[in-house]
Amino acid sequence: MAQPVKTSTVSALPSKAQPVRKRSKAPALSIAYPSACGIDIGATSHFVAVPGERDDEPVREFLSFTADLHRLV
């Protein structure tokens, strides 16, 4: 009677540990243009943000239809 063949589920190759990367602190950024806005452009809508003291609603969403884009301008 033949003996069953044993198979191992553990790889014979040694695994390599990923090195830990140390991040250096980035210098603080200064505000270059205090009246500038930020725009996040998406496929279906765009979000526009202005400084909080400039508007009662500092972040607004505009859909990507022509009429909404005209409102954005």
Question: In degrees rounded to 5, what are phi and psi of residue 71?
Answer: -65, -35
> Would you say 61 and 46 are in contact if contact means Cβ atoms under 8 Å apart?
yes
> Would you say 35 and 51 are in contact if contact means Cβ atoms under 8 Å apart?
yes
The share of the chain scoring above pLDDT 70, in percent, equals 79
Alpha-carbon distance of 33 to 18, in angstroms, equals: 41
* Neighbouring C-beta atoms of residue 63, cutoff 10 Å: 14
User: Which amino acid appears at position 9 of this protein?
Assistant: T
Residues 9-32 have pLDDT tens digits of: 555 556 677 777 777 888 888 888
pTM of the full structure: 0.54
Query: For the chain, which residues make up each domain, given as ranges?
Result: 38-72
Binned at pLDDT 50, 70 and 90, residue 41 comes out as: very high
pLDDT of residue 5: 62
> Would you say 50 and 34 are in contact if contact means Cβ atoms under 8 Å apart?
no
pLDDT of residue 45: 95
Q: How large is the average pLDDT for residues 27-50?
A: 90
